[in-house]
A and B are shown apart, each in its own frame.
Chain A
Amino acid sequence: MSKKKVVVGVTGLNNIDSPGPGIPVIRALKDSEYFDVRIIGLSYETLEPGIYMHDLVDKTYQIPMPSAGTSSLLERIQYIHSIEKLDCIIPNFDAELHNFIKLSPTLKKDYQIATFLPELEQFESRHKSVLFEFGEKNDVKVPFAKMIFSPSEIYQLEDKFTYPLVVKGKYYDASIASTPEQAVSYVNKISAKWGYPIIIQEFVSGNEVNVTAIGDGKGKCIGAIPMRKLYITDKGKAWAGVSLEDNQLIEIANRVIANSKWRGGCELEFIKSNKGEYYLLEMNPRFPAWVYLSVGCGQNHPEALLKMALGIDVKAFESYESGKLFIRYAYDQIVSLSEFEKISTFGEL
């Protein structure tokens, strides 16, 4: 059977120490036995390593930063589409999703570019700042949390929280504070980078386990793979991990996806308390950077997402292999100055 040729735009080419999911998503699509993919990389910065991985990324175009808004993004996509004839775009950054979700109907209607993203309401409902309410609505335990808008509010929280507590940025970063002074210092540090609000969350002691999952938007969980980090970098990112066999966790993941009618890929971050209870710490609205493990375990989640985006029927995966490990590595690419010049000057490579 000949493979279906498709052109897919993918963001998140920053395969660095805190990696974006773009390259793992591309590897998964390249492994597909159904699709023959041409990958169009969509980059933000000239030093994103994926730009120069020509065996994985066929052509790269720079796109405007999310803060530039939807109209400049649409204008750039129009230009890219006029050359590449994109069939689908898979965005992989939290911060850009808002723009892509807003553009998604226009991309489909006017340019026949498919996406497979949650509705704006679903996207907002799992935001860190309202995760506690999300947990109540979807019947999953979530540590108590509260948003703050200035460091001084830390001292007003003493009747609601005990120490240690977790200080979280609205998109990224989290630190465990043992004293109010430490909490104030983390609030200042994280807000300087990501702005307000800052989320203050109850600390739950236990082991962290994560799930990469995909929902069809109609209440069906197409696949879910639980993983425990075996080696964590100083940025808290998994450098190695192993797939787990955990029916309870799969059942919770299915429930969250079903109740929220989640559309697209996501990462559910849990902590298993010392009493064996699962608490949802975060729901990231896109695939995690370790999503290629899903392929290793027998569930190609990015391929399933691409199929659903293109309107191809996908059946839910029924099994996966536990005990599969992923181990990252660092690799120095040699890049000619002329290549760097092209992406820096023309925004294309």
Chain B
Amino acid sequence: MYVNKNLAISDTGFIFNPSTGDSFSTNEVGKFIIDLLKQKKSKEEIISQIVLHFNVDKVNADKDLSDFFAMLKSYQLMLDENE
């Protein structure tokens, strides 16, 4: 899984996908996750970083991250390795 390397994300969490022309807004946590994805961090590394920086346990972070990944995939912001 990876995010489009050309995805533009501003400091305020505004995301622009230059391939589709779609734009989105995300909160601080979403931006944090996308930044880590752009650095090619694994899911496990991202979960550790979320637990470290936000007030959440590992089980909930894992579940919420899976939901967030599903949403990113549905918006074509995240693709499988073979796509």
Contacts and interface: CB of A to CB of B under 8 A. Distances in A.
Interface of A: 207, 227-228, 230, 241-246, 322-323
Given A243-B21, A244-B19, 10 more contacts: A207-B20, A228-B20, A228-B21, A241-B21, A242-B21, A244-B20, A244-B21, A245-B6, A246-B19, A323-B8
A298 to B, nearest CB: 15
Nearest to B83: A276
A228 B16 CA distance: 13
A323 B21 CA distance: 7
Interface of B: 6, 8, 16, 18-21
Contacts of A227: 21
Contacts of A323: 8, 16, 18
Interface of B is mostly: loop
Contacts of A230: 21
Contacts of B8: 323
20 contacts: A207-B20, A227-B21, A228-B20, A228-B21, A230-B21, A241-B21, A242-B21, A243-B21, A244-B18, A244-B19, A244-B20, A244-B21, A245-B6, A245-B18, A245-B19, A246-B19, A322-B18, A323-B8, A323-B16, A323-B18
A52 to B, nearest CB: 34
A87 to B, nearest CB: 37
Nearest to A248: B19
Contacts of A242: 21
A227 B19 CA distance: 10
A230 B18 CA distance: 13
B61 to A, nearest CB: 32
A243 B16 CA distance: 11
Q: Which 3 A-B pairs have the closest CB atoms?
A: A228-B21, A245-B18, A322-B18
B25 to A, nearest CB: 15
Contacts of B18: 244-245, 322-323
A347 B73 CA distance: 58
A264 B25 CA distance: 40
Contacts of B20: 207, 228, 244
Nearest to A209: B21
Contacts of A228: 20-21
A140 B46 CA distance: 42
Which one of A227, A230, A242, A243 has the greatest number of beta carbons of chain B within 10 Å? Answer: A242
A230 B20 CA distance: 11
A246 B18 CA distance: 8
A312 B21 CA distance: 35
Contacts of A245: 6, 18-19
Nearest to A321: B18
B74 to A, nearest CB: 13
B16 to A, nearest CB: 5
A8 to B, nearest CB: 32
Nearest to A230: B21
A243 B23 CA distance: 12
Which one of B18, B20, B21 has the greatest number of beta carbons of chain A within 10 Å? Answer: B21
Which one of A227, A230, A243, A322 has the greatest number of beta carbons of chain B within 10 Å? Answer: A322
Nearest to B21: A228
A296 B18 CA distance: 16
A230 B6 CA distance: 20
Contacts of A243: 21
Contacts of A322: 18
A243 B19 CA distance: 9
A334 B2 CA distance: 55
A210 to B, nearest CB: 11
A338 to B, nearest CB: 45
Contacts of A246: 19
A227 B6 CA distance: 17
A207 B6 CA distance: 20
A209 to B, nearest CB: 8
